[in-house]
């Protein structure tokens, strides 16, 4: 049995670990609340923008899929939105496994957002053509560089993590172009034409600008969704780690008390043996 | 020629993806596009425009005007309902 002093020292370290995981747990919980608000705000913005876009006399399905440069290289791209750092449970690994099921290197390239996903891909020997660092979620997400890279691809599939609840996060994949088209299909059509509306500079340029914005917004939405799911996953991982540290601490306490008792028993035995020895010596003399 | 209705107001929603700058009644919006500076007053014709980088001013019915620093944006007006989508 280990000595009580050593066990006490280890108990101190586990106590610190438990406190730390507790802090991470509450940080993750704050992050969940913060990102959730952003997801709602961004969705409301997208819905309103789409409503105004559909008011233009253009066929959104035809225009968005036929944008200049879209689909020009004839290949597919998988966009993986992972966490920027670790401590987010097994969510990124699950996402990569899901992506692998549909991955054919001869027809498909991979673009990865987030350092954690990039390192996971490298560990598995899966090549990616471009890596982007994810911005802090409380800052403006400029996805234009990502959009520029993925625009030439025929099919753009985005893999991301969806927040269902604090205890449940799922890996999802979407086709970016069809998603933009269907995100607000029920939007009211309140047509504005050149006959009754002043367009500056022109209807086409405005439609182009709005489509580019919507593509960026749709991608930003998935980044936010992933951030939310990762924060929730981190919260769960930290809750489990804190519980585990608590259990470990209880086990160590038990071992410590046993060790203390055994040490005092050993001392008592030594004293008794000493007394018996003395008695025997006295009796012999 | 009919006289402008001075009791008319604009209903304005001004927002970016993560921020609602203003939602409510206003008497004027000032901004600029590629052609130049412009004002939108109640009763304005249906209008759809890309905005140039610069300051957008929303003159509320009372109180200080709302000023938005816009890097990009779109404004759309129809039937005194104005939407400003900025910094997308």
Q: Which helix (H) or strand (E) holds A200?
A: strand A197-200
Query: How far apart are the C-alpha atoms of A147 and A101, rounded to whole Å?
Result: 24
Which one of A35, A140, A180, A191 makes the best mutation probe of the B interface by having the most chain B beta carbons within 10 Å? A140
Cβ–Cβ under 8 Å, residues B64 and B26: no
Asked if the structure places residue B66 within a domain, the reply is yes
Tell me the residue range of the domain where B72 lies: 10-86
Using the Cβ of A129 and the Cβ atoms of chain B, whether some distance falls under 8 Å is answered with no
| Tens-digit pLDDT profile for residues A245-263 | 888 888 888 888 888 898 8
Tell me which fold the domain A19-239 belongs to: Pyruvate Kinase; Chain: A, domain 1 (3.40.1380)
As beta bridge partners, residue B11 has: B25, B81
Q: Is residue B2 assigned to a domain?
A: no
Ranges in chain A, pLDDT < 70: 57-72, 86-89, 135-141, 180-190
Question: Alpha-carbon distance A264 to A4, whole Å?
Answer: 11
A220 in B contact zone (CB under 8 Å): yes
Helices vs. strands in chain A: H and E counts, helices first: 7, 6
Nearest-CA distance from B40 to chain A in Å?
A: 12
* Count of structural domains within chain B: 1
pTM, entire model: 0.67
Cβ-proximal residues to B36 (8 Å cutoff; 6+ apart), any chain: none
Q: Give a yes or no: residue B24 inside a domain.
A: yes
A74: left (phi over 0), alpha (psi -120 to 50) or beta: left
Domain membership of residue B21 (yes or no) is: yes
The predicted-structure confidence for B26-83, as pLDDT tens digits, reads as follows: 999 999 999 999 999 999 999 999 999 999 999 998 889 999 999 999 999 999 999 9
pLDDT number for residue B1: 44
* Residues facing A168 on adjacent strands: A165
Q: What is the CATH number of the domain that holds B59?
A: 2.60.15.10
Residues on chain B touching A204 (C-beta within 8 angstroms):
none
A209 Cβ under 8 Å from any chain B Cβ: yes
Scored b (16 or more CB within 10 A) or e, A55-75 reads bbebebeebbeeeeebbeeee
Chain A residue numbers with beta carbons less than 8 Å from the beta carbon of B79 are none
């Amino acid at each position: 049995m280990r000595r009580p002093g050593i066990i006490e020292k280890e108990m101190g370290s586990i106590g610190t670990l438990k406190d730390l995981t507790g802090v991470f747990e509450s940080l993750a919980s704050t992050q969940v609340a913060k990102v959730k608000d952003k997801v709602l705000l961004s969705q409301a913005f997208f819905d309103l923008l789409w409503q105004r876009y559909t008011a233009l006399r253009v066929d959104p399905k035809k225009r968005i899929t036929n944008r200049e440069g879209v689909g020009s290289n004839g290949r597919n791209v998988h966009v993986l939105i992972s966490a920027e750092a670790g401590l987010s449970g097994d969510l990124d690994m699950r996402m990569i496994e899901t992506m692998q099921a549909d991955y054919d290197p001869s027809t498909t390239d991979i673009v990865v957002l987030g350092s954690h996903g990039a390192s996971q891909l490298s560990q598995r020997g899966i090549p990616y053509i471009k890596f982007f660092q994810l911005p802090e979620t409380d800052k403006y997400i400029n996805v234009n560089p990502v959009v520029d890279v993925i625009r030439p691809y025929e099919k753009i599939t985005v893999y991301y993590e969806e927040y269902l609840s604090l205890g449940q996060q799922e890996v999802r994949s979407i086709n970016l172009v069809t998603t933009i088209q269907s995100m607000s299909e029920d939007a009211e059509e309140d047509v504005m034409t050149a006959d009754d509306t002043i367009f500056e500079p022109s209807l086409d340029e405005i439609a182009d600008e709005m489509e580019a914005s919507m593509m960026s917004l749709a991608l930003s939405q998935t980044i936010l969704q992933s951030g939310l799911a990762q924060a929730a996953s981190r919260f769960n991982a930290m809750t489990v780690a804190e519980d585990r540290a608590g259990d470990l601490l209880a086990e160590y306490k038990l071992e410590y008390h046993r060790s203390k008792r055994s040490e005092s028993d050993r001392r008592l035995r030594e004293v008794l043996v000493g007394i018996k020895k003395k008695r025997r010596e006295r009796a012999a003399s | 020629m009919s006289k402008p209705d001075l009791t008319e107001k604009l209903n304005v929603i001004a927002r970016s993806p993560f921020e609602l700058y203003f939602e409510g009644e206003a008497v004027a919006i000032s901004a600029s596009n590629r052609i130049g500076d412009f004002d939108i007053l109640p009763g304005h014709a249906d209008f759809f425009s890309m905005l140039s980088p610069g300051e957008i001013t929303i003159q509320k019915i009372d109180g200080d005007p709302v000023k938005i620093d816009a890097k990009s944006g779109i404004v759309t007006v129809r039937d005194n309902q104005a939407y400003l989508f900025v910094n997308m």
